[in-house]
Structure 1
Amino acid sequence: MNTIDKKNISGFWVVGINYKKTDASIRGQFAINNEQYESILSVAPSFGLNEFFILSTCNRTEIYGFADTADQMMELICTETEGEIEVFEQLAYAKNGMDAIWHLFQVSAGLDSQILGDYEIVGQIKTAVKFAKARGFIGAFMERLLNSVLQSSKAIKTQTQLSGGTVSVAFAAVQYIKEHVQQVKDKEILLLGTGKIGRNTCKNLVDYLHTKHITLINRTEEKAETLAQELKLKHAPLEDLSASLKKADIVLVATNANEPVIFREHLEGNGDKLIIDLSIPYNVSSDAQELSNIKLVNVDELSRIKDETLQKREAEVPKANDIITEHIQEFVDWCKTRKYAPVLKAVKHKLNELCQHQVILMSPKYCDCKDEIQKVINTLAVKVRSENNIGCQYIGAINEFIGTRAGNE
């Protein structure tokens, strides 16, 4: 397969699966962790791919970048997934060119999130891009595109109420507990995992349930201890997981491990428990879910919660789409200018030569004309984009510069 040489809108793709067509168990088979991400990047050149990033969250696994065909991307991403490529192909969507760009803008704004307006996706996109960029997989086109995407997302955040109120998976978990558990203040709550989602969930538990009967466990005990001290809660080492599970009435799992961390033997015969698994793939084993004393809720069920906040957010969608349209147009304008970059570079080089050799009126005064050169280049960029006459504009720019310098003299 040939590596893509032309990095432009027509060569840009997104391929992926999300919550709209797959449940959490299927998405878990195609979730990508950092180790898998690293491996995918290392073999990507052999698939003819050298500019892309992968976004893997509880709601989606997507690959954005340049390819000849969508099949290249599907084949690459499935080299490291538990799920088979045949399943991925049946469930995946593939979008190209402007459709792919529109999709990325929508995702970053929270318009394509399982919970409308969920702003956590922005941080996840930044992390995914940073990982790829550090390994040389983000070029000039995608750098500019992603900057535009983030600017658009920020504008939507500040100029609309699309992310107004408090609605997220972490908040939905707390809402579920409030609605389905009586006398919450008397219940023992165990939270596994104190990463970003776990931390947000923990703060929501404290703020909205007004309880301190919460024990934190994390693979790195120091993180659990720090959060516990901050919120005046209890913490326990991972070695005490079995004992902590036995005592807990409510268990929230935000570990995002590659395999289950809670098994049947942890729960069997240890009383009724509500378990909310916020992880993709599931971090509670399938046989544990079959126990009659266990009520299990996953991210898909939480995301079905509707309230007034979501209704208000839906009313903001047209405003958000208008902002996206504006930023996409600005990006398209930049793309049009970008194809003239070689001409602009050539003109700038020629003008610098004129200065260095003091061709203009043979005066030392013209050895330092950096600002005037840049003004000419800026004017030329506007003209070639609007008039599409490169040759005449090249000559015109040289004449304009010489005329300006002569006039100043």
Structure 2
Amino acid sequence: MQVNQPKDISNFHIVGINYKKTDAAIRGLFAINQDQYQQLLLAAKAAGMDDLFVLSTCNRTEIYGFAGEPGDLMDLLCTSANGNPQVFAELAYHKSGEQAIRHLYHVGTGLDSQILGDYEIIGQIKGAAKFAKAQGCIGTFLERLVNSVLQVSKLIKNETGLSSGTVSVAFAAVRLLEAKVTDIQQKKIVLLGVGKIGRNTCKNMMEYLNVRNITLINRTTAVAEDFAGQHGLQYAPYEEMDGVLKSADVILVATNAPHPTILKAHMEGTASKLIVDLSIPFNVAPEVRELAHVEVVNVDDLSKVQDETLQKRLNEVPKAMSIIEEHMEEFLYWFKMRKHAVVLKAVKEKLTEIHAREIKEQKNGAHYKLEDMEQVSSRIIQKMINLMAGKVRREAESDKGDQYIAMISEIFETGFNQE
């Protein structure tokens, strides 16, 4: 009997780039959109890789999964992205095994975010994993790990002050507007792009800056119309964008299109403007910065916005780290016991096979009630499994647990090689 061996945790890797070593322009080249993501997952399955997902946000592009080498994941990612693989290799980081697992916990809880405590990242992880699962590329290991990260993120948000104050790029944009734009309630504001970041930014502007003179524009007009109706705002069809942009005082861009949406021609001959580009890759053409009357701020600039609660959040980091370590230990224990469970399942199947063979051999000659003997035999098998499982569980914290499993596997010839 051959047992399907669980994946070796040392082959779990994360490869990526983030804001720490790259600017937004470089990150934009390696951002993965929905179509690229789907093609990447199809390529992964064709290569026999079926437990991975990609996290692509304004601050990072990372791929998590099982592979023989981190370079296998890097090649997979770069094949789908628009950037130069050599540039990626020079700027990328990679971690394996427990370090890779810990990295995902840190990312998911905002400890590794450009704005410490950013809580939006956990929703992005959830969405990325959900998409990969729908394509058949999330296995038991990653599903369990992502669920653990989701749980830990919620615990840290509820039990610590790590996410107090400014916790997102969307809110940092509002703080920037508060500092730079006087009498903002009287200014004409245009929000281009009504996706998640755009909606969050808009809500923050209404709540914290008390602005209502906001015109929404979205490529799908019905989306802008619906959101505007819910919040008492204005909207304009995408086809009327040029005129609306020219009359605006403040423009927020959250379109996340593959190419610039706002061009130099849109801004020439207009009054002074502030443009906040929340998109990755940048959706404001570089030439716009050449115009003296236009100020452009991007996501990297937003990270410099200081929040008065920063020190409080920094003080909460040790508490968050403690929660992460506790739940990571539980996850690793589950993984270790899962390896044991595979062997025990194989042993049970082996005993059941023996039981069936003995019953068959005795059916013709012996005088007994077959039903009674089958019940007794089944109880014996389950008791043996329970005894072995209990012993392994008690010794799980020492090397003896692995030794017992290895011995059991050898005795019953399961074909499982205990790592």
Please give the TM-score of this superposition, normalised by the length of structure 1.
0.88
Q: 2: CA distance between counterparts of 1:79 and 1:274?
A: 36
User: Of the candidates 384, 390, 393, which is equivalent to residue 405 of structure 2?
Assistant: 390
Counterpart check, 1:379 vs 2:390: yes
Distance 1:363 1:218, change over 3 A: closer
1:248 aligned partner: 248
Give unpaired runs (5+ residues) of structure 1: 397-409
Q: 2: CA distance between counterparts of 1:129 and 1:91?
A: 25
1:321 aligned partner: 321
Which amino acid is 1:218 matched to? N
Deviation at 1:71, TM superposition (A): 1.6
Deviation at 1:325, TM superposition (A): 0.7
Distance 1:82 1:364, change over 3 A: closer
SS, match of residue 190 in structure 1: strand
Deviates more, 1:41-50 or 1:132-141: 41-50
SS, match of residue 62 in structure 1: strand
Residue by residue, what CA displacement relative to the aligned partner does 1:271-320 show, whole Å, maximum 9, x if unpaired?
10000000000001111222111100001111111122222111100011
SS, match of residue 274 in structure 2: strand
Counterpart check, 1:93 vs 2:56: no
Deviation at 1:378, TM superposition (A): 5.3
1:290 aligned partner: 290
Deviation at 1:8, TM superposition (A): 2.5
1:27 aligned partner: 27
Count of aligned pairs between the two proteins: 393
Q: 2: CA distance between counterparts of 1:89 and 1:82?
A: 14
Deviates more, 1:70-79 or 1:27-36: 70-79
Checking the alignment, whether the CA contact within 8 Å between 2:14 and 2:62 is kept in structure 1 is yes
2:57 aligned partner: 57
1:111 aligned partner: 111
Deviation at 1:350, TM superposition (A): 5.6
1:197 aligned partner: 197
Identical-pair percentage? 53
1:401 aligned partner: none
Checking the alignment, whether the CA contact within 8 Å between 2:28 and 2:282 is kept in structure 1 is yes
Deviation at 1:370, TM superposition (A): 11
2:152 aligned partner: 152
2:124 aligned partner: 124
Checking the alignment, whether the CA contact within 8 Å between 1:380 and 1:393 is kept in structure 2 is no
Give unpaired runs (5+ residues) of structure 2: 360-368, 412-419
Please give the TM-score of this superposition, normalised by the length of structure 2.
0.86
Distance 1:329 1:364, change over 3 A: closer
Which amino acid is 1:113 matched to? S
Deviates more, 1:182-191 or 1:341-350: 341-350
Checking the alignment, whether the CA contact within 8 Å between 2:53 and 2:129 is kept in structure 1 is yes
Q: 2: CA distance between counterparts of 1:11 and 1:210?
A: 51
Counterpart check, 1:209 vs 2:209: yes
Counterpart mapping for 1:7-18 below 5 A: 7-18=7-18
Checking the alignment, whether the CA contact within 8 Å between 2:272 and 2:293 is kept in structure 1 is yes
Deviation at 1:82, TM superposition (A): 1.8
2:270 aligned partner: 270
Q: 1: CA distance between counterparts of 2:256 and 2:293?
A: 24
Checking the alignment, whether the CA contact within 8 Å between 1:8 and 1:141 is kept in structure 2 is no
Which amino acid is 2:32 matched to? I
Distance 1:200 1:391, change over 3 A: closer
Q: 2: CA distance between counterparts of 1:73 and 1:234?
A: 45
Distance 1:353 1:67, change over 3 A: closer
Counterpart check, 1:223 vs 2:223: yes
